[in-house]
């Protein structure tokens, strides 16, 4: 556990219980949902391919600090006029001649 502890701390994971079973060690704790994907990606290199991650949602908590945002990846429906123009362009097809 000691070699990966700094990485867990960096991901804001909190270990609550550690149990040895034979040659295996089981950790139980909490990690913010926003960090789970990053831990999944790093776990193979942190554990030399021997780590396994099992997650379950526990609860919601208020966000601390600045609430994260991201730019829109599509058109803004709150700007109704612009949104309808964009939707019309996306679905409109050239008129076919009879």
73-97 pLDDT per residue, tens: 777 888 888 888 888 876 655 555 5
**Whose CA is closest to 51, among 24, 28, 17?**
24
User: Does the reported pTM lie above 0.85?
Assistant: no
**10 Å Cβ neighbour count for 13?**
19
Residue 84's Cα: distance from chain center in Å? Answer: 32
Which one, of 74, 73, 80, 84, lies nearest residue 92 by Cα?
84
Task: Parse the chain into domains and list their residue ranges.
Answer: 1-57
Q: Is the pLDDT of residue 43 over 60?
A: yes
Q: Residue 93 and residue 2: Cα distance in Å, rounded?
A: 61
pLDDT at 29: 93
Mean pLDDT throughout 7-33? 90
Q: Determine the pLDDT at residue 25.
A: 87
CATH number of the structural domain 1-57 = 3.30.70.240
């Amino acid at each position: 556990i000691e070699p990966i502890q700094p990485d867990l701390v960096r991901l804001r994971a909190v270990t609550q219980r550690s149990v040895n079973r034979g040659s295996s060690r089981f950790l139980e704790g909490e990690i913010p949902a926003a960090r789970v994907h990053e831990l999944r990606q790093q776990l193979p290199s942190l554990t030399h391919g021997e780590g396994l991650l099992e997650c379950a949602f526990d609860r919601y908590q208020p966000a601390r600090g600045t609430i994260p945002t991201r730019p829109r990846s599509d058109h803004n429906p709150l700007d109704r006029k612009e949104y309808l123009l964009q939707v019309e362009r996306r679905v409109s097809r050239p008129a076919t001649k009879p």
